[in-house]
Structure 1
Amino acid sequence: MGPEEREKRPAGEPERLVVPYLEGEGVGPEIMAGTRRLLDEAVRRCYRGRRLLQWLELPGEQIRTLAAGSSLPQEMIDTLRAHRVALKGPLATPVGGGHRSWNVELRQRLELYCCLRPARSRAAGSLLCRQVDIDLAVFRETTEDVYCGIEFAADSEAARQIRALAGVGLSADSAVGLKVMSRTASQRFFRRVLRWSRQQRRRRVTIVHKGNIMKQTEGGFLRWCRQVLEEPEFAADFRFTERGDGSDGSSIMVDQRLADAMFQQLLTRPDEYDVLAAPNLNGDYLAEAAGALAGGLALQPSANLGDERALFEPAHGTAPHLAGSDRANPAAMILAGCMLLDFAGWPEAAGALRRALDTTLAAGTGTPDLARAWQRAGRPAREVGTGEFVETVAGRLLEEA
C-alpha cells in the first residue's frame, strides 16, 4: 500500500484506504452504489473498525461534457495517480466516430499496461448449452497494438504516403491504421504475467499470438516473451515447451498457440488452459469469450494493472437500456471490488464478499438476465431487482464474515 493511503496514525485510529471512484454511464451509478455498500459492509464485518474505506468521488460530468477530440481532465488523471487503487463503472465509446475510448486513454495515461480478466466458473453456471468448469486468467497488454488508435482517413495525405510506402498495391480508397508493438512494452507485460502466475501457483502459461501472419508485430511478441523466460528471475521457475506436455512438477509450463487455434480450443477444451497472455486486440477477444464460458460478462471483473497503481471495473458495457430500471446485474462490479480489496492487501474482506455472492447465486437468486437464463435451462430461480440482489448478498455477509 502506498504512503498516501497508509500514513502513520494515532493509536486506535483505523487504517483507511482511499478509493477514488467513477460511477460511469448507463447502469454504472446503480451498480456502483450497491457495490460500495457491500464493500463497506464486508470491511466493517471483517475488521471490526480497524480498517475503513474512504471513498473519493470523481465527478462524472467532467467526462460527459467533454467535446469530441478532447482528452480526459488533467485533474482526474492527477487524482488517480495520487492513489494506488480506484474503482470505475462502465464508460461508453461511440462506434465509427466521436471521441476516442476513455478506457483506452485511462490505461495509457496511467500506464496501466496489463489487463487481467479472470474467468472462473461460479454457482451461476455457464449460459451456454453445456456446463464448463474453468478457472482461467486472461492477460492482455493494454498500451499498444491497434488500440493505439493511430489511424488515417482514406483521403488524407498521411494515408496516401503510407499506401505508397507499403508498395503492395493498396487501393486508393484505403484507410490506414497502424499496429504498434514494441519489445519494451511486450516484455514489461510478460514479466508481470509470470510474476502473477508464480505467486498464484499456476501450472501453465500460454502465449497467444498470430505470428505466422504478422511476423514482425505478433511474431515479435512471441520472440520477446520467450526472451523474458531466459532472464535470471524466471529461468528456474518456468519451462518453455512446444509440445504442451505439461509441467514437470518443479516448474511452470509455458507454451504458445496461434490465436485462431486458441479460440477453437477455448471452446472445446477450456479446462486444459490456465493463464493466457496475449497482445491487446486478441486478448480482448479471448477475455470476452472466456467470460461467456464462465457465465457471461455480467459475472466478469477486470483489473487494469500498472507498476504503481491499479484500476478495477466490470468487464461489461454501459447497458443504457437498463439504466434506472432496477434490472442491472451488479455481480461483475462486486467482483471487481473484491479484486481491489485483494490488491490492497485486505483478502479477508474480499473472500467474505465473494463467498456471500457465490452463496446467493447458488441459491438461484439473480437479476433478470441470470434468472431468466436459469429458467430457460430448467433450473429453479428467483428473479430480483438490483437493489434486492444487493440486500440479499449483504444478508449473506452476516453468515460469511
Structure 2
Amino acid sequence: MHTVTLIPGDGIGPEVSKAVQEIIKAAGVEIKWEEINAGEGVMDEYGTPLPDEVLDTIRKNKVALKGPITTPVGSGFRSVNVAIRKKLDLYTNLRPAKAFEGAPTKFKDIDLVVFRENTEGLYAGIEHMVGDDAAESIKVVTRKASKRIVKAAFEYAKKHNREKVTAVHKANIMKLSDGLFLEVAREVAEDYPEVEFDDRIVDNMCMQLVQYPEKYDVLVLPNLYGDVVSDLCAGLIGGLGLTPGANLGDEIAVFEAVHGSAPDIAGENKANPVALLLSGVLMLRHLEETEAADNVEKAVAEVLAEGEILTGDLGGQASTTEITEAIIDKL
C-alpha cells in the first residue's frame, strides 16, 4: 500500500484526477490517496493558493499527483506550480514526449525526453520596476543548479540506455549566464563517456526539432528554454493532452499534467485524462510498480491506436467517462 498526496487542482482537474484514480485502481495498485486542495478554490479560506498544509503532506508522503492549477496572467498570485517546485527544491522537470499511433500528429517515431532546470533562471521571478516605464527581470544561473540538472539528464540516459544528451543554451549572446550552463554541461559530460554529448543554441534547436526530431534523444535546458521547448515537443506528439510531467528532487517527487485547467469545459465531462494518467505512469514507475505502469501505458496506446474513443482535443467526441472506461477495459 502506497500513500500519495493528491492535489486535484482547478477547472477540469478534479475530473481528470478521478479518472486517473479509477484507472490506477483497475491496474491493481493499492494507493491511499491523501487529498488536499490548492489553487483558486482555497484563496477565500486561506488567503493563499498554496496553504502550508499542502507542502506539509507532500513532505510527509514524498510523492504527490497534481492536477492542473490555474495561473493568472499579468496579475494575481504567482504560479502555484513554480512555488511548489521552489519550496520543495524539485530541481528536475522531466517531460517525456513519445508519439503514440493514432495521435493527431504528422510525426512518427518520436521519443524525446526533456530535462528542464526547475529552480532558477528567469523563472526565479526576481523582477522590479525601474521608474514608471521600464521593468527589469534578473536571470540567475548557478554552477550548483546547472550541475545537478545536467547530471540528472546523464544519469537518466545511462539508466534507460539512451544514446545522446543535448545541452540547449544561448551562450553565443548570454556569454556569462548561459555560458556557465554550457561550461558545466561539458564538464559533466566528461564523466559519461558512454553517452554521446552535443549542444545546440536554443533557436536552432527549435528549428532542428521540427525538421529532424528523430536526431535527438535527451535534452537538458535552463528553466525558461525548457518550458518553451518542452511545449514544442508536446506539439510534435499531438499536444499537451498526451504529455506527462514530473518534478523531482533528491527525496520528493510531484507528478503533474502540464496542460492548463480549461475552465471553459470544467464539469462538462469532456476533459482528456491521458496526460495526467501518463504522469501517473511515471509515478507508478517511481513507486517501482513497473508492471502496472507498463500495462496502463499499453492500454492507453491501444485506445489511441484504435481511434474510436477519443476526446475532442484528440479528434473525437468521447467523454472523460468513456475514454476512462475504454482504458480500464483494455486493462
Normalising by structure 2, what TM-score?
0.96
- Counterpart residue number, 1:27: 12
Contact map agreement 2:167 2:199 (CA 8 A) in 1:
yes
State which of 303, 311, 318 in structure 2 corresponds to 1:367. 311
Counterpart residue identity of residue 165, structure 2: V
Taking the aligned partners of 2:155 and 2:195, their CA distance within structure 1 comes to: 11
Taking the aligned partners of 1:267 and 1:345, their CA distance within structure 2 comes to: 34
- Decide whether aligned partners of structure 1 residues 259 and 62 sit closer, same or farther in structure 2, where only a CA change above 3 A counts: closer
Name the Cα RMSD after superposition.
1.7
Counterpart residue identity of residue 119, structure 1: A
Task: After TM superposition, give the deviation of residue 76 of structure 1 in Å.
Answer: 1.4
- Provide Cα deviations, 1:187-218, integer angstroms capped at 9, x if missing partner: 01111111111000100100000000111111
Contact map agreement 2:91 2:248 (CA 8 A) in 1:
yes
Unpaired stretches in structure 2, ≥5 consecutive residues: none
Contact map agreement 2:154 2:195 (CA 8 A) in 1:
no
Counterpart residue identity of residue 306, structure 1: G
State which of 293, 304, 308 in structure 1 corresponds to 2:236. 293
Contact map agreement 2:9 2:39 (CA 8 A) in 1:
no
* SS, match of residue 293 in structure 1: helix
- Counterpart residue number, 2:301: 358
Q: Confirm whether residue 76 of structure 1 aligns to residue 48 of structure 2.
A: no
* SS, match of residue 315 in structure 2: helix
- Counterpart residue number, 2:120: 144
Q: What are the equivalent positions in structure 2 for 1:375-394 lying under 5 Å apart? A: 383-394=317-328
Taking the aligned partners of 2:221 and 2:323, their CA distance within structure 1 comes to: 35
- Counterpart residue number, 1:160: none
- Provide Cα deviations, 1:333-353, integer angstroms capped at 9, x if missing partner: 110111100011111010111
Contact map agreement 1:121 1:134 (CA 8 A) in 2:
yes
Taking the aligned partners of 2:117 and 2:248, their CA distance within structure 1 comes to: 10
Contact map agreement 1:43 1:53 (CA 8 A) in 2:
no
Contact map agreement 2:38 2:51 (CA 8 A) in 1:
no
Taking the aligned partners of 1:342 and 1:33, their CA distance within structure 2 comes to: 20
Task: After TM superposition, give the deviation of residue 131 of structure 1 in Å.
Answer: 3.0
Taking the aligned partners of 2:264 and 2:40, their CA distance within structure 1 comes to: 22
Taking the aligned partners of 1:225 and 1:273, their CA distance within structure 2 comes to: 17
- Counterpart residue number, 1:37: 22
* SS, match of residue 120 in structure 2: coil
State which of 83, 87, 107 in structure 2 corresponds to 1:131. 107
- Counterpart residue number, 2:329: 395
Counterpart residue identity of residue 35, structure 1: V
- Counterpart residue number, 1:111: 89
* SS, match of residue 38 in structure 1: helix
Contact map agreement 2:311 2:319 (CA 8 A) in 1:
yes
- Provide Cα deviations, 1:128-166, integer angstroms capped at 9, x if missing partner: xx333210001100000110011102327xxxxxxxxxx
* SS, match of residue 31 in structure 2: strand
Contact map agreement 1:116 1:304 (CA 8 A) in 2:
yes
- Decide whether aligned partners of structure 1 residues 133 and 61 sit closer, same or farther in structure 2, where only a CA change above 3 A counts: closer
Contact map agreement 1:18 1:53 (CA 8 A) in 2:
yes
- Counterpart residue number, 1:195: 155
Q: Confirm whether residue 224 of structure 1 aligns to residue 202 of structure 2.
A: no
Counterpart residue identity of residue 226, structure 1: R
- Counterpart residue number, 2:282: 339
Counterpart residue identity of residue 25, structure 1: D
Which structure 1 residue ranges, 4+ long, deviate > 6 Å from structure 2?
none
Contact map agreement 2:40 2:49 (CA 8 A) in 1:
no
Q: What are the equivalent positions in structure 2 for 1:207-356 lying under 5 Å apart? A: 207-230=167-190, 235=191, 237-238=192-193, 251-356=194-299
Taking the aligned partners of 2:145 and 2:45, their CA distance within structure 1 comes to: 31
Normalising by structure 1, what TM-score?
0.79
- Provide Cα deviations, 1:36-94, integer angstroms capped at 9, x if missing partner: 000111025xxxxxxx2111101347863169994722221111011221100001111
- How many aligned residue pairs are there? 330
* SS, match of residue 303 in structure 1: strand
Taking the aligned partners of 1:211 and 1:61, their CA distance within structure 2 comes to: 36
Task: After TM superposition, give the deviation of residue 18 of structure 1 in Å.
Answer: 0.3
* SS, match of residue 20 in structure 1: strand
Taking the aligned partners of 1:75 and 1:25, their CA distance within structure 2 comes to: 17
* SS, match of residue 228 in structure 2: helix
Contact map agreement 1:69 1:100 (CA 8 A) in 2:
no
- Decide whether aligned partners of structure 1 residues 60 and 101 sit closer, same or farther in structure 2, where only a CA change above 3 A counts: closer
What is the aligned-residue identity percentage? 41
Contact map agreement 1:126 1:292 (CA 8 A) in 2:
no
Q: Highest CA radius of gyration, 1 or 2?
A: 1
Taking the aligned partners of 2:281 and 2:202, their CA distance within structure 1 comes to: 30
- Counterpart residue number, 2:74: 96
- Decide whether aligned partners of structure 1 residues 362 and 147 sit closer, same or farther in structure 2, where only a CA change above 3 A counts: same
Task: After TM superposition, give the deviation of residue 322 of structure 1 in Å.
Answer: 1.1
Taking the aligned partners of 1:20 and 1:305, their CA distance within structure 2 comes to: 15
Q: Confirm whether residue 55 of structure 1 aligns to residue 55 of structure 2.
A: no
